[in-house]
């Protein structure tokens, strides 16, 4: 299927919707949606770190209401816990650490399927172009 340059926005939205649906389907067994995944991925990248909700808002560029709801969901599932002695700080729980391998395997498998048949050079160029578009939009 060929898309014209004028359809870029529609294509990006379509890719996002499809990726969101596939990700949520893949992670359904863990009860994790895209919002919770973003938070978990930050904790997985910095496993020994703890964050307040305000720090998560700034780091992930997500509004406070969504962060609050997603942190609560992750705590209800025992993937996150409050830091002892610092009730406004959160860290990965033992359960959250335990599912890291499965989450990362699922995420990497989805990424591999999504980029199948696309050369490394084409992926690099695509990321560069989309990054430039993102910067342009942020400047508005």
Residue 47: its pLDDT value, please?
Answer: 82
The confidence score (pLDDT) of residue 105 equals: 93
Q: pLDDT tens string for the chain (140 positions)? A: 778 888 999 999 999 999 999 999 999 999 999 999 999 999 999 988 999 999 999 999 999 999 999 999 999 999 999 999 888 999 999 999 999 999 999 989 999 999 999 999 999 999 999 999 999 999 99
Quote the CA–CA distance of 125 and 135 in Å, as a whole number: 15
Q: What pLDDT, on a 0 to 100 scale, did the predictor assign at position 48?
A: 85
Q: What is the pLDDT of residue 87?
A: 86
pLDDT score at 137:
92
Identify the architecture of domain 5-138 in CATH.
Orthogonal Bundle (1.10)
- What is the per-residue pLDDT for 133? 94
- Output the pLDDT for position 52: 96
Q: How far apart are CA 65 and CA 118, in angstroms?
A: 37
pTM of the model: 0.81
Name the nearest CA neighbour of 95 among 56, 137, 40, 42: 40
| Tokens standing for residue 81 | 């816990």
Here the tokens at position 73 are: 């969901």
Q: Round to whole Å and give the CA distance between 57 and 38.
A: 11
| CA 134 to chain CA mean position, Å | 17
102-106, Cβ contacts within 8 angstroms, sequence gap of 24 or more: 102/30, 103/27, 103/30, 103/32, 103/37, 103/40, 103/44, 104/44, 106/26, 106/27
């Amino acid at each position: 299927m060929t898309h014209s340059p004028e359809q870029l926005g529609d294509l990006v939205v379509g890719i996002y919707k499809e990726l969101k649906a596939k990700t949520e389907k893949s992670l359904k067994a863990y009860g994790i949606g895209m919002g919770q995944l973003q938070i978990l991925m930050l904790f997985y990248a910095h496993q020994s770190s703890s964050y307040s909700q305000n720090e998560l808002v700034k780091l992930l560029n997500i509004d406070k209401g969504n962060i609050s709801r997603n942190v609560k969901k992750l705590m209800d599932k025992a993937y996150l816990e409050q830091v002892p002695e610092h009730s406004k700080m959160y860290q990965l729980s033992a359960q959250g650490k335990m599912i890291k391998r499965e989450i990362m395997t699922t995420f990497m498998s989805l990424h591999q399927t999504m980029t199948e048949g696309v050369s490394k050079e084409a992926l690099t160029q695509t990321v560069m172009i989309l990054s430039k578009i993102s910067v342009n939009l942020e400047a508005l």
